[in-house]
Amino acid sequence: GARDAGILAYDDANGDMRLIMDNCYFETLDIVKDERVESGKARLIVTDLNNYAQPRLRYDLSDIAEIERTNQGFDKLLSLDGRLDAVLVNSDGLYVHGTAISGYLKYYDNIELYKFVQNTIDEAEFYIVFKDNKNVNLEEIVSGLEKILPKVKINVNVVDKIDRERNGKYRYVVRKFKI
């Protein structure tokens, strides 16, 4: 859901996520351009139909989603892949969602915390906090990251701590430039 618009979807009896069309109007726009798309992964735009005091009109959640349009009144949410600024890209135009980084790093028990920041199309900073420095194979970790995001130079920073964002959350993967 979105705090301002309430619950946006629910699980149906089959386990599929259904958008609540009575409360909101959902649009999908191309990830890069502000053009409407009918299929595939796209930016999710929401208009709250019930908030009369402070309506949210065409609110860009910055989430990447895929929706299957149905004639049943409740479109199906096929995927919700997270924030647009967590989508990484290399110089060949290959898009890689940040969950690929998270999925890879979860197998390293000795990592306490990390943050991967792509500053430009060909350079990134990787901040990493280890639980202890025993049995750390940093070269192996970086080699795996380079396979996920080829042609991007990864600068490694082993640090003692990683600060939370202003909202109190950790952002594990961030892209700092427009695609």
Backbone angles phi, psi at 24, to 5 degrees: -140, 155
Q: CA-CA distance, 141 to 156, in Å (whole number)?
A: 10
Q: CA-CA distance, 148 to 60, in Å (whole number)?
A: 28
Amino acid 15 reads G
- pTM value is 0.69
Q: How many CA atoms lie within 13 A of 16 on its CB side?
A: 13
Quick check: 80 pLDDT over 60? Answer: yes
Quick check: 146 pLDDT over 90? Answer: yes
Q: CA-CA distance, 154 to 100, in Å (whole number)?
A: 15
Q: State mean pLDDT over 44-60.
A: 84
Quick check: 1 pLDDT over 50? Answer: no
Torsion of CA 57, 63, 65, 70, to 10 degrees: -20
